[in-house]
Structure 1
Amino acid sequence: MSLTVVSTHLYPLENAVEHHADRFVQVQDGSTAILRRGQPFYLGIKFNRLLDSTRDVVRIVFVTGPVPTPAKGTSAVVIVKEKESVDDDKWDARFNNFTKTTATVQVQIPPYAPVSVWRIIVQTARKGVAGINQHPIETPVYVLFNPWCPFDIVHMNDEDQLDEYVLNDNGKVWQGTYKEPKGYQWFFGQFETVVLPSVMMLFDKAGLPHHDRADPVKVARTISAITNNVDDNGLVEGKWDGSFEDGTSPFAWISSTPIFEEFYNTQLPVKYGQCWVFSGVIVTICRALGIPCRSVTNYMSAHDTNASLTVDTYIDLNGEKLNNHPGGYTNDSCWNFHVWNDVWMDRADLAKGYGGWQSIDGTPQETSDSMYRCGPAPVEAVRRGEINIGFDTAFVFTEVRADMCVFKESDEGFWTRVKTMPNYVGKLIVTKKIGSEVLPGIEDMEDITELYKNPYDSPEDKLAVKKAIKVVPIAQEIYDLEESQIEDVEFNLFDIEQITLGESFKIAVSIHNTATEPRSVDVVLTATSILYTGTTVNKLRRSHANIVLKPNQRENLHTFVKPSEYMDKLSAHSLIRITAVANVQGTEQMWSQDDDFAVHKPQLTVTLNSEPRVNVPCVATFSFNNPLPVALTDCTFSIEGPAVHRVIKFRDVAPNEKNVTYKETFKPTKEGERTVTVSFTSKQLSDIKNTITAKVLP
């Protein structure tokens, strides 16, 4: 009687515990096996009779992709042998033990196996007898990257980092301003059922060959591309114009889970996202696949559109800053903040020393090799100014280290560079602190600025800038230009500390003539509401003055902006930019300075009607006051917590309505500390969030 396989068992949960994959929901319900490459797993096989080791042959076949090929690493055939141990650098299998007709087989996955869904087939045959019996295993088998394996390219040798950057499904995404960073809780949800199938669907959409899925560099570059929808109909559609009626506002998302659920169910890009949304879902994708990943926020982030290593700004004859070059030569901008990602891996494709953190960005800003993607760029190469190392390193270098070049319009209509402002961008680069719970304020913020750039004007900083300029001809031309040397009038724009929605604020500048001669100074003070990308939404106020200062004379100029001038003209982040521009007649000295600040919004309060208990309904009440004299439309409440992922459409809110209230009933399923984040957003007022932590009792 020929040997056949009666049944198999993949021990999904037992193997997953050893592979740090036991938190995946589909593993817990036994429907899927999720394993990591570079380590063994166990497979149970029940045969129809006792195995004759001298005559019977048992083979295990592993295949992935549409055309499995051994030469490309997408298929392998292993004869199960009786030996002491498996080889850890290739597909291998050995019998572990026998109990009558049942055998346990130890199977080794090589550390270079493609990260994909694999199919396993157990074959049996008789030596010298034609014919093979096949037993396909129906359970899907995901093979993931293994940062715990020293031979995997994504290996990370620190348990605290692994806990944070691979296993933590709850984190923080930083927004706000560099003077007042604000962190918002984000639920990554990488272990939810829809995530891994969605990622594989996205890889297929992107046309990523299955053999390339073994390389984390190519995988990370693909993730950067498929996160946005521009080229390959990917995960999230970006939108920045403030009109989100046909989708979900970027400000309503506080979790990746509902985004993946919508994508998986519709197979269409989810509307809408902005940079922090792209960053949040990239963390989800990478951690699900086993690539260590974190969200990174760069405050005052340059967007260089002409690859000059500078961010260029233009001031017209009226002394006002323009959003871009009038002739369309460049559309550079300085984002108040920009959020991207760091992923951890070795770089076998580069010289030694460029492994570790690599920057990738899912926000579609500029094309790279004809697609909207960015990275992976070695952070160490960015710091050194070695912009020809890796992918898109020059773009990331400019984001964190560009100088601001100021061009002024002449009476003849020409644009002349009048000033270079060094150290203008990359004011602060942060991520969530390792091992910390999500905390209020900035206690859980980690400053990683010096990983990306050297201290300004240090010898290392000067060398990095010199290296970068050396390989960019247009940058060489810009830095060779001479500037006016006469700058004998000192200026200072006073920062605005904190403004609450409904208060007036003052724009004030101090001027000091240090020359031995009188100086005539033309000053323009403006206030504009801006998007976080730096683009002007509305002009709020403009004040113009011309004063003559005697030698050593000091003078202060100011103007006030009333609530009625800005209340209904703010962007979603409530960011306002005040700008002072001054021209000194005779010496052609020109000075310009900005200050961005966020207007504080009303507090969203969350209260519970009782102590939460397992399987007992609990009512949460969310409330706030509408400070605006206009109605709020397209209102939603977003609620995110353990087993709760909801976006609820809400009624319109009346002008200046007090105690706007919504109630939601929860039924906790597990005891212990549980965190819930709630966000309110509307067309007129958004980004109102609060997070509560409650202890669920048995």
Structure 2
Amino acid sequence: MALDVISTHLYHMENAVEHHADRFESLQDGSTAIFRRGQPFYFGIKFNRPVDKIKDIVRIVLVTGPAPAPAKGTSTALIVKDKEDLVEDKWDARFSNFTGSTVTVQVQIPPYAPVSVWKIIVHTARKGVAGVKQHRVETEVYILFNPWCPNDTVYMDDEIKLNEYVLNDDGKVWQGTYKEPKGYQWFFGQFEAVVLPSIMMLLDRASLSHQDRADPVKMSRTISAITNAVDDYGLVEGKWDGSFEDGTSPFAWISSTPIFDEFYNTQQPVKYGQCWVFSGVIVTICRALGIPCRSVTNYISAHDTNTSLTIDMYIDIAGEKLDSHPGSYTNDSCWNFHVWNDVWMDRPDLSKGYGGWQSIDGTPQETSDSMYRCGPAPVEAVKRGEVNIGYDTTFVYTEVRADMCVFKESEDGYWSRVKTLPNYVGKLIVTKKIGEILPGTDDMEDITDIYKNPFDSPEDKMAVKKAIKMVPIAQQIYDVEESQIEDVELKLFDIEQITLGESFKIAISLHNTSTEQRTISVVLSALSILYTGTTINKVKRSQANIVLNPNQSENIHVYVKPSEYMDKLSAHSLIRITAVVNVQETGQLWSQDDDFAVQKPELNIELSSEPRVDEPCVATFSFNNPLSVALTECTFSIEGPAIHRVIKFRNVLPNEKNVTHKEMFKPEKEGQPTVTVSFNSKQLTDIKKTITTTVQL
């Protein structure tokens, strides 16, 4: 008779350690095993009697997907043999040990196996006897990408980078402005129990075949789609209009964990996210699956809506800047910052030289092959201007290297291009440095040079030339020559920062360098904007007409009071000051913007005592309300290792000082945990503080 399987054991933790998977929480109850492809795992089987090596046949069958088939790579049947070694580049199995009626089997996973949930069935038979007995192993087996395996296409040959881009579950997403970048801690939580089941649910919704889940290029492209909820009922629903009453404000999230918890429990897209939220959860997904990944922020990021490689600005006959073409031909914009992701992989689908970092983006901006997704675009192709290489490389190239084209309305209603501002976007591209989280910008890494060449260098000129050659619309635009006398020198004075409640000044200097008189129209304005660059409120506008004699200089300014902007700010508290200047005699047109963030009150955190394991400690959070209105719908969010809390708080009085909340916690283990606390309300949002403390025994 064939062997009967009494029990099986997948040595969950022992295998997990060898597979760099021992931090996954779902291993704790023994119901799940997690392996990485390109490596072997050990599998214990207890039979009803000892194995007869000559007459008994033991076969290990592994299957995944709704219709497993060997030809699709979703099914394999391995006859277990008594041999010394395994073949590393394909499915294989051997007996590793015999102890009475218990055997240990070693199974080799090939480096091209689909990344999915697999089932294991043990088949037993006996030579010369008809029939096969089957035993289905109840344990779910996740097979993940293996960046430690040289034969896996996501291989990364640097242990320090692997620790950061795969194993680190804590990091930063960068916001603010290019003059004042701000890094906010984000807990990725890729090892939390809900993450892998949620990812598999999302992949099923995307209808990505299990066969294609072996390919990190197709997987990362799908990840960029399933992160947003537009096409396939994905993870997070995006919203930018500032009204979040029926969900959670994007500014309240400081961790991926509660997002995956809500999605897993409701199986509904989570409300709401914006670009940094999409980027944060993509890091979680990719690192959980074994794809090296990092969050990337591009300051002054172009959103090109007509694939022209340019951002188009329109100024009407009155000297007003318009948000879009008046005929809706294009609706280009410059985001104050935009956050996407880099993923690491080889590109066997492309020519050599395009492996390494690839850009993907989960924020739904433009469709790609009829779906809201972006990438993977090889960063090297972006830098070279080879916009025909990879997926959506044109879009990413424009985000970091677009020129600004200025169009002016004539008296007869026609629009003509009057100026091009080269290299207008991509002022600074950053990610978190490898290593621990540090204060301020100490842990910020400038990666601008991997995305673009120094402006006007021979390499930059060649990249621009290549890109234009591939885009017909761009060829038409760049064929138009500009000819204009520009003999008035102008400068808009930057504003570094102001504190909420302070006045600020919009100031411009003018100098007539010509030998003739110049009649000049000047429009100075202040706008409250979203981080996407979209105007939400007009704060102030001032117009002046002056005459400058030859070689004369003049300064013009206008003050903006707190009462004029306080109730008009967006959640990021961004203000754009703009100057538009028109010289009557020469037709010279000049426009310049400066964006700055209004600084919000500081959130203070004080601990009642030195934290110790299993001893209560009280944290006191406090801040001052600078607004002359009450704060409603108030919450404190706390995020850190083993801490995920959202606390509803009372309404805060207008101009209330020392607003205080106390929260008790009890550390579970020693170390140096980093914790982020965030206060949000309907009127004042995104007040954050991150602290690192030492917990002792």
TM-score calculated relative to the size of structure 1: 0.99
1:49 corresponds in structure 2 to 49
How far does the alpha carbon of each residue in 1:372-407 deviate from its partner, in whole angstroms, 9 at most, with x for none?
000000000000000010000000000000000111
2:626 corresponds in structure 1 to 627
Q: Aligned pairs, how many?
A: 697
Contact in 1 for aligned 2:252/2:637 (Cα 8 Å): yes
SS at match of 1:264: helix
Contact in 1 for aligned 2:484/2:587 (Cα 8 Å): no
SS at match of 2:413: coil
One-letter amino acid matched to 2:286: C
* Of 53-62 and 27-36, the range deviating more from structure 2: 27-36
SS at match of 1:568: helix
| Counterparts of residues 653-668 of structure 1 (less than 5 Å) | 653-668=652-667
TM-superposed deviation, 1:285: 0.1
| Counterparts of residues 684-695 of structure 1 (less than 5 Å) | 684-695=683-694
How far does the alpha carbon of each residue in 1:66-114 deviate from its partner, in whole angstroms, 9 at most, with x for none?
1100000000000000111000011100011111111111110000000
TM-superposed deviation, 1:634: 2.2
Q: Distance in 2 between matches of 1:177 and 1:196?
A: 34
One-letter amino acid matched to 1:380: E
Q: Distance in 2 between matches of 1:636 and 1:320?
A: 40
| Counterparts of residues 374-453 of structure 1 (less than 5 Å) | 374-435=374-435, 437-453=436-452
1:465 corresponds in structure 2 to 464
Q: Is 1:603 matched up with 2:568? A: no
SS at match of 1:477: helix
Q: Distance in 1 between matches of 2:399 and 2:391?
A: 14
Contact in 2 for aligned 1:299/1:337 (Cα 8 Å): yes
SS at match of 2:626: coil
Contact in 1 for aligned 2:341/2:360 (Cα 8 Å): yes
Contact in 2 for aligned 1:484/1:589 (Cα 8 Å): no
One-letter amino acid matched to 1:662: H
How far does the alpha carbon of each residue in 1:18-70 deviate from its partner, in whole angstroms, 9 at most, with x for none?
00000001123333110000010101111111111110000000000011000
Aligned CA RMSD, in angstroms, stands at 0.8
2:118 corresponds in structure 1 to 118
Q: Distance in 2 between matches of 1:547 and 1:623?
A: 50
2:14 corresponds in structure 1 to 14
One-letter amino acid matched to 1:549: L
Q: Distance in 2 between matches of 1:659 and 1:672?
A: 31
1:4 corresponds in structure 2 to 4
How far does the alpha carbon of each residue in 1:643-698 deviate from its partner, in whole angstroms, 9 at most, with x for none?
11122222222211111122222121111111110011112111100011111121
Q: Is 1:300 matched up with 2:300? A: yes
One-letter amino acid matched to 2:531: Y
| Counterparts of residues 285-296 of structure 1 (less than 5 Å) | 285-296=285-296
Q: Distance in 2 between matches of 1:150 and 1:225?
A: 28
One-letter amino acid matched to 2:196: L
TM-superposed deviation, 1:119: 0.2
1:127 corresponds in structure 2 to 127
Q: Distance in 2 between matches of 1:247 and 1:651?
A: 19
Contact in 2 for aligned 1:95/1:106 (Cα 8 Å): yes
How far does the alpha carbon of each residue in 1:167-210 deviate from its partner, in whole angstroms, 9 at most, with x for none?
00000000000000000000000000000000000000111111
One-letter amino acid matched to 1:109: I
Q: Distance in 2 between matches of 1:647 and 1:568?
A: 26
Q: Distance in 2 between matches of 1:663 and 1:243?
A: 29
Q: Distance in 2 between matches of 1:631 and 1:332?
A: 37
* Of 474-483 and 381-390, the range deviating more from structure 2: 474-483
2:681 corresponds in structure 1 to 682
One-letter amino acid matched to 2:473: I
Contact in 2 for aligned 1:375/1:393 (Cα 8 Å): yes
1:528 corresponds in structure 2 to 527
How far does the alpha carbon of each residue in 1:125-172 deviate from its partner, in whole angstroms, 9 at most, with x for none?
001111111111111100000000000000000011100000000000
| Counterparts of residues 507-518 of structure 1 (less than 5 Å) | 507-518=506-517
1:87 corresponds in structure 2 to 87
Contact in 2 for aligned 1:258/1:646 (Cα 8 Å): no
Q: Distance in 2 between matches of 1:411 and 1:681?
A: 48
One-letter amino acid matched to 1:509: I
SS at match of 1:130: strand
SS at match of 1:294: strand
Q: Distance in 1 between matches of 2:316 and 2:337?
A: 26
1:40 corresponds in structure 2 to 40
Q: Distance in 1 between matches of 2:372 and 2:2?
A: 56
How far does the alpha carbon of each residue in 1:570-623 deviate from its partner, in whole angstroms, 9 at most, with x for none?
000000000000001121110010000001110001111122222222221111
Q: Is 1:495 matched up with 2:491? A: no
One-letter amino acid matched to 2:519: S
One-letter amino acid matched to 1:598: A
Q: Distance in 1 between matches of 2:39 and 2:337?
A: 41
Q: Distance in 1 between matches of 2:29 and 2:50?
A: 32
Q: Distance in 2 between matches of 1:672 and 1:384?
A: 45
* Of 109-118 and 628-637, the range deviating more from structure 2: 628-637
TM-superposed deviation, 1:412: 1.4
| Counterparts of residues 562-581 of structure 1 (less than 5 Å) | 562-581=561-580
TM-superposed deviation, 1:449: 0.3
SS at match of 1:485: coil
Q: Is 1:345 matched up with 2:382? A: no
One-letter amino acid matched to 1:352: K
Q: Distance in 2 between matches of 1:239 and 1:636?
A: 20
TM-superposed deviation, 1:540: 0.8
Q: Is 1:328 matched up with 2:312? A: no
One-letter amino acid matched to 1:569: K
One-letter amino acid matched to 1:220: S
Contact in 1 for aligned 2:2/2:132 (Cα 8 Å): no
1:139 corresponds in structure 2 to 139
One-letter amino acid matched to 1:423: N
How far does the alpha carbon of each residue in 1:203-243 deviate from its partner, in whole angstroms, 9 at most, with x for none?
00111111110000000000000000000110000000000
Q: Distance in 2 between matches of 1:670 and 1:495?
A: 48
Contact in 2 for aligned 1:205/1:232 (Cα 8 Å): yes
Contact in 1 for aligned 2:301/2:335 (Cα 8 Å): yes
TM-score calculated relative to the size of structure 2: 0.99
TM-superposed deviation, 1:484: 2.8
SS at match of 2:129: coil
| Counterparts of residues 228-239 of structure 1 (less than 5 Å) | 228-239=228-239
1:162 corresponds in structure 2 to 162
How far does the alpha carbon of each residue in 1:277-299 deviate from its partner, in whole angstroms, 9 at most, with x for none?
00000000000000000000000
SS at match of 2:476: helix
TM-superposed deviation, 1:301: 0.1
One-letter amino acid matched to 2:307: A
Q: Distance in 2 between matches of 1:394 and 1:647?
A: 41
Q: Distance in 2 between matches of 1:652 and 1:332?
A: 40
Contact in 2 for aligned 1:243/1:683 (Cα 8 Å): no
Q: Distance in 2 between matches of 1:612 and 1:28?
A: 27
Q: Distance in 2 between matches of 1:225 and 1:636?
A: 31
Contact in 2 for aligned 1:118/1:142 (Cα 8 Å): yes
TM-superposed deviation, 1:641: 1.1
One-letter amino acid matched to 1:28: Q
Q: Distance in 1 between matches of 2:482 and 2:634?
A: 51
Q: Distance in 1 between matches of 2:101 and 2:228?
A: 52
SS at match of 1:207: coil
TM-superposed deviation, 1:6: 1.0
One-letter amino acid matched to 1:603: E
How far does the alpha carbon of each residue in 1:429-481 deviate from its partner, in whole angstroms, 9 at most, with x for none?
0000012x111110000000010000000011011011111111111111111
Q: Distance in 1 between matches of 2:407 and 2:627?
A: 38
1:641 corresponds in structure 2 to 640
1:260 corresponds in structure 2 to 260
Q: Distance in 1 between matches of 2:606 and 2:411?
A: 62
Q: Distance in 1 between matches of 2:439 and 2:527?
A: 29
The percent identity for this pair of structures is 80
One-letter amino acid matched to 1:663: K
